[in-house]
Amino acid sequence: MERTFWTDGEVLRTEPPAGPGAARAVESVVDGGRLVPGLVDAHTHPGAEEPEDGFDGAAPQRHLEAHRDAGVLLVRTPGTMERMPGWVDAAPELPRARSAGRWPATPGRFFPGVGRNLSEEQLPGAAVAEATASSGWCKVIGDWRRDEPAVPLEIMTEAVAAVYAVGGRVAVHRTAEGSRNAVLAGADSLGHGRHLAPALLNLKAHQGTAYVPTLGASAGSAEVWRGRERSPKRSARLEGWTGMVANVRAAHEAGVTALARTDTFPCGTVAAEIRQLLDAALPAGEAVGAASWAARSWLGLPGLTAGAPADLVAYDQDPVAHPEVLEHPVRIVLRGRVVR
């Protein structure tokens, strides 16, 4: 469908500007092609490329610029070494950011020395503290290794309820038993999803819990494990990879919202994650939407409508029909300014 949009400062309009001299101020920046709302990476960690590196205060700008130059104009950063600097979301040259503060993690369930090392009793209060100190999100480490116990369901339920009570939202890192507990506790999103029981998908759909697999990062890990000697750990990792891929399509069929995420570095590679979603048999419209209009809607931002943020990416062909064009945006408009 052919449509025309105007930008009014940082806002998108469907009617031309009015008033004396308004017409002379209009400059065409995209004529033809296909517009989509700015791309979204729903799980990225600008600031530290490896947990043991520590948080580099200059890195967020560098990493977010890489996202922007790939057309990613909105990011969710579910957990960082330190709280994301307050200037990030407001910086006119950088993507909008939805940050989740530091990782609240209970003993033995995260990288040693990374995040907030807490007792299980302290977890609900810490989750609230991180949500209120960020943009309303917190990310709880629900489990870490499949052969070790997850955060108990009653503790996870208490943490989710406490964050909801202050108007926040909860993301959960989980692989096995943590998946079940996070869904039953009513968390907003579940990351990774290795060993996620398909029986949970209908409940996820009913309560609006999003599925955020890390297919690209996990595919590389699976290749490494395939080359190792047979062992119970190798079998578990490969089983988890197979289950994650199968769950992408199953989640779609159950009505679960899928979100695209990269998790790893370099930044600005969400187009590759969309290809992974396609390879996992997610329909093309849903795969592209998982990194654009559907992800924006789920995070509370409208798409191509009057009053929406003027964050747009233009391609010379429809990316749903031709996903390869996602690697080659012809125009990027952020906050009403052409940045490419």
84: domain CATH number is 3.20.20.140
Contacts (Cβ under 8 Å, ≥6 apart) of 206: none
Matching residue, tokens 């290794």: 145
pLDDT at position 93: 95
Helix/strand/coil percent split, the chain, to 5: 40, 15, 45
- Does the residue 76 lie in any domain? yes
Contact call for residues 144 and 171 (beta carbons, < 8 A): no
- Does the residue 67 lie in any domain? yes
| DSSP summary character for residue 137 | E
- Does the residue 205 lie in any domain? yes
Give the residue among 308, 328, 305 at the shortest CA–CA distance from 74. Answer: 308
Whether omega before 266 lies within 30 degrees of 0, making that bond cis, reads yes
Contacts (Cβ under 8 Å, ≥6 apart) of 229: none
DSSP output for 156-195: HHHHHHHHHHTT-EEEEEESSHHHHHHHHHT-SEEEE-TT
Domain total of the chain: 1
Instruction: Please return the burial class of 10, using the count of CB atoms within 10 Å of its CB with bins 0-12, 13-18 and 19+.
Output: middle
Range list of H helices, the chain:
22-25, 59-69, 87-90, 123-133, 153-165, 177-185, 201-207, 215-226, 232-254, 270-279, 284-289, 293-298
- Cα separations (Å) of 129 from 142, 159, 178, 266? 17, 11, 22, 30
pLDDT at position 218: 87
- Does the residue 138 lie in any domain? no
- Cα separations (Å) of 237 from 7, 167, 175? 48, 36, 10
- Does the residue 224 lie in any domain? yes
- Does the residue 263 lie in any domain? yes
Q: pLDDT tens, position by position, for the chain (340 residues)?
A: 788 899 989 999 998 877 665 555 567 878 888 999 999 999 998 887 776 666 667 888 999 999 999 999 999 998 887 788 888 888 999 999 999 988 899 988 988 878 788 999 999 999 999 999 999 999 999 998 877 899 999 999 999 999 999 999 999 997 778 899 999 999 999 988 778 888 999 999 999 999 999 898 888 888 898 999 999 889 988 888 898 899 999 999 999 999 999 998 999 999 999 999 999 999 999 999 999 999 999 999 999 999 999 999 999 999 999 999 999 999 999 999 999 8
Domain coverage including residue 74 = 40-99+194-302
- Does the residue 158 lie in any domain? no
Structure tokens at 304: 């191509």
pLDDT at position 55: 66
pLDDT at position 19: 65
Contacts (Cβ under 8 Å, ≥6 apart) of 20: none
pLDDT at position 25: 57
What does DSSP say about strands 96-99 and 72-77: parallel, antiparallel, or unpaired? parallel
Give the residue among 54, 169, 199, 69 at the shortest CA–CA distance from 114. Answer: 54
- Does the residue 85 lie in any domain? yes
Give the residue among 13, 37, 23 at the shortest CA–CA distance from 319. Answer: 37
Q: How many beta carbons lie within 10 A of that of residue 18, not counting itself? A: 7
